[in-house]
Structure 1
Amino acid sequence: MSKRLDMIQLSVVTNITAFDSLKPAWLALQEACLGTSIFLGWDWQRLWWKHYGHGRDLRILTARQNGNIVGILPLYLETYRKAGGLFAARKLRQVGVGGDTAPDDLGALFAPGYENETSAAMAEHLSKVLTDWDILDWTDLPPQSPLVPALQQHFSQSDIRATCEVTAPITFGVLPDSWESYRRSLSRNRRETMGRKRRKFESQPDAQVITVNTLDELDGAFDRLAELHRLRWTGRTEQPGFSSPEYRGFHRDVMRALLPQGRLRLMKLNMGGCTIAMLYCMRHRDTFCFFQSGFDPAYAEYSPGDVLLGYAVEHAIAEGCHVFDMLKGEHDYKRHFFQQDRRNVELRAFRPGLIDLAYRLKDAWSARASRRPELGESKPSPARGEASSATAEQRR
């Protein structure tokens, strides 16, 4: 064990008061951390807990050296019940995951230079000290995170069974310095189609693209976004976004927090005095993140969603962003704008015991049920990320 690792002290935050006391250190670490995301930020994490934490138990892992916080890993425990409550397991999950909204990039916050030592200390703590979980179920970890190999190593030494899978692809694009350069990067057919749709929209009365910039506008804009999203997805998915009071309360609060910081990008496409499409985006450092959208199908002939997304790309380039991240959810329209993709990692682990045995039997039964007798081989099952990607955008 290195001297620096030996000096790292771990503690676990289990209540709201202690959670709130972390805010100054969290914000400082968030600013300094090289591999963070908007979903690991204080606003997303704390507000998610405000709206979705009921019935769950906090387990935020904090790492200190010489009294200074050098790592934060936000987690919680929940009881997962099956078979009418006869089967129950304690799941250790990431704050921000669960309920009916989902982030994309999670993990831990690390002070620069402390990533490896802190990951090793956290992995050891989760293996040997924080033992009140049966299943560890983590999603959307960056593949380069030192947490992943550290956990795999310590789990194997503790006879904890672990599986690691890559998620479905996430579409993104590296942005050029100008809108014209971006347009030239597209195929001729795509470029002409984009131009034709934009000209058709701009020829309509009172055609406008508006970005919400004040808190006074926010509530009305939020309500219209929720309405447009439901118009777009009702009948096409079982539970569109903005369906639950938790979802609406959480995202309204997130917008209220991000707008004064200059990190919210809430865009409207107006025509004839009516908002016909909206985009809910966020900026994190030099990345423009597309999170949610909606449009009125009554105006489908004007391709409002496609047109507004084109304006959003132009807007991101104009404000100097280097990356446009479409976030999770595999949809063809995303490939109309960008072709690059990335993948995150999902980690699942089981402590030895009856819960692990039950899951082993369940997996074995599922594998047997999916076997094709005529070929004598199993059907490939989709990765967990792929299974959920079809509804990721609708339910975010």
Structure 2
Amino acid sequence: MRDEDGRLVGAVPFYVSELRLLKVLPFRTLRMMADHATGSEYADWIVDPDVEKAALSAIADALLAAKSDWDTIWMPRMAGWTGAMERIKAACEEKGLLHHSRSTVFSYFDLPDSMKLYEESFSSKRRQQMRRKRRKLLNTEGVEVVLCEKPEDLPRFIETLFELHYRRWQLDGQEGAFRRKPYEAEFYRQFSRIALKNDWLWLIALTEHGEIKSIQIGYVYDGVFLQLQEGFDPDYVQGSGNVLRTEVIERRIDAGISGYDFLGGGSEHKRRWGAAERDGYDLFIAHPSKLKNKLLFSKEIWPSGRYIDEIGLLGGS
């Protein structure tokens, strides 16, 4: 959508994939650009807040008019605290687009003004364990925490991240995202170069005599550190990943960062670091004019469920 002066005030970058119900009935499905290939979260439609309602309404009108181009829209992992889902659902209801939503979970904690205050949020036993483990490992000869700051160092850091992430998930009998989705690994290779150049990247490792033993990647946006991925050597000192996370937290506090975002999912591990669960949503939308869509939306059937398979990428829209 553009305003009267021709200024772009609303856009939704979609690509087209195919979902198939019971392996037979196809649904031409719009998804947020590169969502699956990058592991992105916090999906939203892009609108100028000054004309938010009009822009969302115009996007919904455009979707209605383009009924031959799509059947459904799948937007998983939406933040529940930004109003994104409420805004989009309101536009859908105004224009009669079919939709339903379900809850999902993210994990996050505020960072206090000092590491001392952060540590005081834990029991004295946990505090002592954290300090003892950290002091012992970081005082070991040859051990240091290193931040990737040079473009020539990126390939070593990134490829080691992939390998240690895989080795970490092997412990649970899984491959991990980068082995399961090689295109996500390629995205990280390319994006990390751009992020480093623009001072967005936070790629940090615990090393022993120059060999990376644990590693974490993330970036800062709007005063919050978003932790993307991590990995550790399961044959190295137990807890090295936790020592590195403690180091990251302290450095982020010292830099004035206000929060640490674990992104999607809740777990006891995340809660042990002080994270609280916050609500998010998956949103499924369908064009109201098609009988197969009405049949699909008569039940709580989801793209990630056992009844629907994703066939793959079809093209741009």
Q: Please tell me the TM-score bracket, short chain as reference.
A: 0.7 to 0.9
More helix by share: 1
Q: Secondary structure, in 3 states, of the residue corresponding to 1:256?
A: helix
CA 357–300 in structure 1, closer or farther in 2 if over 3 Å, else same? farther
Q: Is residue 2:142 matched to residue 1:214?
A: no
Cα pair 1:171 1:338 within 8 Å, conserved = no
Q: CA deviation at 1:153?
A: 4.1
Aligned to 2:312: none
CA 119–145 in structure 1, closer or farther in 2 if over 3 Å, else same? farther
Q: Is residue 2:299 matched to residue 1:347?
A: no
Cα pair 2:35 2:41 within 8 Å, conserved = no
CA 311–383 in structure 1, closer or farther in 2 if over 3 Å, else same? farther
Counterpart among 53, 64, 68 of residue 116 in structure 1: 53
Q: Secondary structure, in 3 states, of the residue corresponding to 1:209?
A: strand
Deviations 1:312-359 (A, max 9, x none): 101111111111111113232211212333222221122343432552
| Distance in structure 2 (CA, Å) of the matches to 1:285 and 1:156 | 31
Q: Secondary structure, in 3 states, of the residue corresponding to 2:285?
A: strand
| Distance in structure 1 (CA, Å) of the matches to 2:303 and 2:137 | 40
Counterpart among 288, 296, 301 of residue 359 in structure 1: 296
Cα pair 2:266 2:277 within 8 Å, conserved = no
Q: CA deviation at 1:145?
A: 5.1
Counterpart among 324, 333, 346 of residue 269 in structure 2: 333
Q: Is residue 2:234 matched to residue 1:291?
A: no
Q: CA deviation at 1:186?
A: 2.2
Q: Note the 1:3-22 alignment, pairs <5 A.
A: 10=1
| Distance in structure 2 (CA, Å) of the matches to 1:350 and 1:211 | 46
Q: Is residue 2:19 matched to residue 1:80?
A: yes
Deviations 1:104-126 (A, max 9, x none): 21213333422233223223332
Q: Note the 1:47-66 alignment, pairs <5 A.
A: 63-66=2-5
Aligned residues: 302
Q: CA deviation at 1:158?
A: 5.0
Cα pair 1:120 1:147 within 8 Å, conserved = no
Q: CA deviation at 1:166?
A: 2.3
Deviations 1:70-116 (A, max 9, x none): 223222221223555x42111111113224x4212121333342223
More strand by share: 2
Q: TM-score if structure 2 supplies the norm length?
A: 0.86
CA 337–383 in structure 1, closer or farther in 2 if over 3 Å, else same? farther
In structure 2, list runs of 5 or more residues that go unmatched: 306-317
Q: Secondary structure, in 3 states, of the residue corresponding to 1:107?
A: coil
In structure 1, list runs of 5 or more residues that go unmatched: 1-9, 11-62, 367-381, 386-396
Counterpart among 10, 26, 30 of residue 71 in structure 1: 10
Aligned to 2:250: 314
Cα pair 2:144 2:208 within 8 Å, conserved = yes
CA 147–311 in structure 1, closer or farther in 2 if over 3 Å, else same? closer
Question: Relative contact order, CA 8 A, sep 6+: which one is greater?
Answer: 2
Paired-residue identity, %: 25
Cα pair 2:225 2:259 within 8 Å, conserved = yes
| Distance in structure 2 (CA, Å) of the matches to 1:151 and 1:105 | 13
Counterpart among 132, 139, 146 of residue 196 in structure 1: 132
Q: Is residue 2:29 matched to residue 1:91?
A: yes
CA 145–206 in structure 1, closer or farther in 2 if over 3 Å, else same? closer
Q: TM-score if structure 1 supplies the norm length?
A: 0.70
